[in-house]
Amino acid sequence: MLDGIIALVAGMLLLFYGKRLFWLAAALIAFLFGWQLFGNLLGPGLSLILAGVLGIVFAWLAIKFVKIAAYIVGFLAGAVALPFLMGIFGLDMSWFILALIGGAIGLILVAVAFDWGLILITAWAGASAISFALQNWVSMSGTFATVVFLVLMIVGVLWQASRKRKG
């Protein structure tokens, strides 16, 4: 239950305010990545603490070194989102391999188009986190979960892009 609530709140913030509040997006993405990584290795209690520390470090990094943090956050967002997305499609691969592939995609997106890369990465991570939370509460087929993810991603990109033009 706590997993779902944390994922839902983090996902909403990333989906709608990821680019605008980059320091918060960096903290949330690092937190979600650390939570998955440490949860697989150490269990839920200690992983929550270590993920929180990782999130704080990345918030500071995003404030002091925006470009460097953006590349790292792009990698981490892809590493968080791709394993979840492939799980929706029923692809059963190693979490580590999917995280590396997703991380490379996220890094390339941010490197090629900085502003749009951040919008896409934060919307992707936010939609993934919200979809994860919803799957904790509601039984969804793979097709329906994919539709939910895609709709959330589109809404997040459109919302952040509209805010980008306004200021």
The predicted-structure confidence for 38-67, as pLDDT tens digits, reads as follows 887 887 788 889 999 999 999 999 999 988
CA–CA gap between residue 74 and residue 13 (Å, rounded):
16
- Give the mean pLDDT of the chain: 85
Give the contacts of 125 (CB within 8 A, at least 6 positions apart). Answer: 11, 14, 18, 25, 28, 29, 32, 77, 80, 81
pLDDT of residue 27: 92
pLDDT of residue 154: 95
The predicted-structure confidence for 77-107, as pLDDT tens digits, reads as follows 888 778 877 776 677 778 788 889 989 998 9
Model's pTM, two decimal places?
0.77
| DSSP secondary structure letter of residue 21 | T
